[in-house]
Structure 1
Amino acid sequence: MDRFKTDKSMQDKIDKLSKENARLRLMLEKQDYRKNKVKKRQRRFRIIGAVLIITGLVFLGLLMYGTYSNYKRARDIKKLQEQRASAAGGNISPDGILPEYRKMYKTNSDLAGWIVIDGTDINYPVVQSKIYQEFYLDHNFDGEEDEAGSIFVDARNDVFLPDDNIIIYGHNMKNGSMFGTLQHYLDKDYYDSHSIVSFDTLYKHRIYKIAAVGLSKISDESDDTFKYYDFLNAEDKKSFKEYVKNIKSLEAYETGVDLKYGDKLVTLSTCNSVEEDGRLFIVAKEVNKNGKD
């Protein structure tokens, strides 16, 4: 009997110790769980922190690259502007190229001329690739890749003959460079004070008076719609009259400048966000240095 009691007492102690052991084990497991949870949370925070740092560095790098690209672009254009100004008034070479463009032409034989609109930021060399129409959409004057591209003439145009209508393209840059300031021409008051365009070819200084400012869009070639960017030459008076009628239907306001058969034109074209594939265009006619026909 006493032995039975002793065995029972021993079993009770064993059971008590087992329960205590189980309790301690459960406590340790909970502690380990909490530690692991904290470690996972810390690891997650470290990963998120690393991602944020990397993202910030990438953004900063892109910002610095964009800033540098804008600086380099402006610096390169400034050098060309200074080169043009310093050579102006010199002697015309035997090949007939104006002195201000002789050195530039040696640098890039795609040079077609120079465009200036006084009182604006538009003061750029104009290039033309006869091989690949869109090359200068994303290449600068030196042939380097550049998202701002260059101001360039339609590959179909003969600038030097010249065609009845020379079409000149440029990006609508947010910082106002290239043709970014053309959007201001939707304001008639702006037009009134910036209506003269200078577009030199390699061989001749030319002055133009803006006759129309309009909005349009790029259409499929198969669409039977008026495409201002497809008018290069007038077959006759009738076709020119039809062209003028279509231009007038798209203009933002009346300029009071008439277009007549025989006029030599330039059309400046850039993107516009009013609608998908939207375009803003400006048509100007050649005039004398006094702004008269």
Structure 2
Amino acid sequence: MASHFRRTDDERAGSHRPARGAAGSHARRSDGGVRTRRGGDESYHAPSSNPHAAGIPHRADAAYIPAVGGPDDGRSRRSSRFVETDPYDLSGRRSRDPRKRAARIVSVLLFVVGIALIATAAGMWIYNQWQYHEQDRINEELASFADVSDNGTTPPQVDWAGLKAINDEVVGWVQIPGTVVNFPVYQASDNEKYLNQSAEGGYAVGGQIFMDYANTPPGMVDGQSLIYGHHMRNGTMFKTVSDMTNQEMFDGVGTVWYVTEDATYELEPLLVYETDASDPEARRFTFASDDELHDYLSGLLGKAVTSRADAADVISRTSHVLTLCTCNYDHGDNGRTLLVCVPKDEANGTAASDGSAPADAATTTE
């Protein structure tokens, strides 16, 4: 076991070690120090007034050197070879390097700009949510002017006098049972007014549902009547029309109601197609004959994304269609999705042979 320990200098010079007392733990040195045995090793504790008594070598220039020098210790001066790696030097003062100062200024500016952008984005999001909330409020208030059935088997019962007291440009009411589509329809002298204007004349992010100004009011008079509505990202307005590019969703819609002050039209979906805002064929309203209308609808069927299985046969019996148009965002804001609907009597082949609307498809209301 002795080989695991090194002999101290005192052990090697054993003849100079004073004898231990009976306790064997302390011995008095001639210079006044105390020798103490600790854990198999020896250390000497000399009086603090005599640091040399413990045998510690002393250098005249030995002194405590702080990691950060004082202002007058002569060590704060930097060597010409010193390269700074952060914006503070060892003295604790900021670097005076103009490049680092410029970098600090740029960092602060970028931080401020970043905070401003975050605040702006948050403000825009809050404002957008408020706009959608206001649009929902407007829609709910207008919806109160019509009573609709729970199952959609009966048409909406509309308070026309109440609607006209708010805005006399109302021409009809459109409803797709089982969806959010349940709105009054307005018609202005252009197609811009109701894009972002409410029925009361104020700003509304979703505007109102409106009929093309070129159509003969109140609709279902021309070969094609075209109604526009915004595709709202929260699922309201005409978002349902855009969803009907899915065949399952399309097949799930069996009835579309269009009600005017004088007549009620029960329709059903024929097809859905997509185009862009510059397509002139989308706004064709009058046709020289039913055959011309049939050719037009057959062309739409050729580019339809969803349709009823017997669409071609139905087209051959059609003399009027109601088309609902909204935006799609697959190609920016320029895309359009259009749902073409036909009166159920024409789809079923029960329309009057003279072209007039039969009682079960368009009924006069008192």
TM-score of the aligned structures, taking structure 2 as reference length: 0.60
Residues 184-219 of structure 1, C-alpha deviations (whole Å, 9 max, x = no match): 211222112113111112333321111121222344
Instruction: Deviation per CA, 1:130-178: give whole Å up to 9, x if none.
Output: 2x22221222222223332221100001133722221011122222222
Letter aligned with residue 134 of structure 2: K
- With a CA cutoff of 8 Å and minimum separation of 6, indicate the structure with the bigger relative contact order: 1
Label 1:199 to 1:46 Cα distance change in 2 as closer, same or farther (>3 A): same
- Taking the aligned partners of 2:147 and 2:244, their CA distance within structure 1 comes to 27
Change (3 A) 1:36 1:210: same
Selected match of 2:292 from 213, 236, 239: 239
Q: Which residue of 2 aligns with 1:64?
A: 126
Classify 1:99/1:82 alpha carbon distance in 2 versus 1 (closer, same or farther; 3 Å): closer
Pairing partner for 2:226 from 145, 167, 173: 167
User: What is the aligned partner in structure 2 of residue 34 from structure 1?
Assistant: 95
Q: What stretches of structure 2 of length at least 5 have no aligned partner? A: 1-75, 149-156, 351-366
Aligned to 1:251, which of 280, 298, 304? 304
Structure exhibiting the larger radius of gyration computed from Cα positions? 2
Aligned to 2:40: none
State the match for 1:120 in structure 2.
179
1:108 aligns with one of 167, 191, 206: 167
**1:97-143 Cα shifts (integer Å, max 9, x gaps):** x751211112111212221111112122211112x222212222222
Question: What's the Cα RMSD here?
Answer: 3.2
Per-residue deviation, 1:262: 5.8
Aligned residues: 251
Q: CA deviation at 1:42?
A: 4.4
Question: Structure 1: 5+ residue runs without aligned partners?
Answer: 1-22, 87-97, 222-226
State the distance in 1 between where 2:271 and 2:138 align.
Answer: 32
Deviation at 1:267, TM superposition (A): 0.6
User: 2:272 is aligned with what amino acid?
Assistant: V
Partner of 1:84: 146
Residue 233 of structure 1 aligns to a residue in which SS? coil
Q: CA separation of 1:196/1:99 partners in 2, compared to 1, >3 Å: closer, same or farther?
A: closer
**2:291 paired with 1:229:** no
Question: Equivalents in 2 of 1:158, 1:176: separation in Å?
Answer: 30
What percent identity do the matched residue pairs reach? 21
User: Residues 199 and 206 of structure 1 are in contact (CA less than 8 Å); yes or no, is this contact kept in structure 2?
Assistant: yes
CA contact (8 A) 2:174 2:184 kept: yes
Whether the 8 Å CA contact 2:318–2:342 is kept in 1: the answer is: no
1:173 counterpart letter in structure 2: M
Instruction: State whether residues 128 and 155 of structure 1, in contact with CA within 8 Å, keep that contact through their aligned partners in structure 2.
Output: yes
Which of 240, 263, 266 aligns to 2:319? It is: 263
- Give per-residue Cα distances to partners, 1:248-267, cap 9 Å, x unaligned: 21222441240346633201
Instruction: Provide the residue aligned with 2:38 in structure 1.
Output: none
Contact 1:159 1:201 in 2 (8 A): no
Q: Are residues 167 and 36 of structure 1, via their aligned partners in 2, closer, same or farther at CA, if it must alter by over 3 Å? A: same
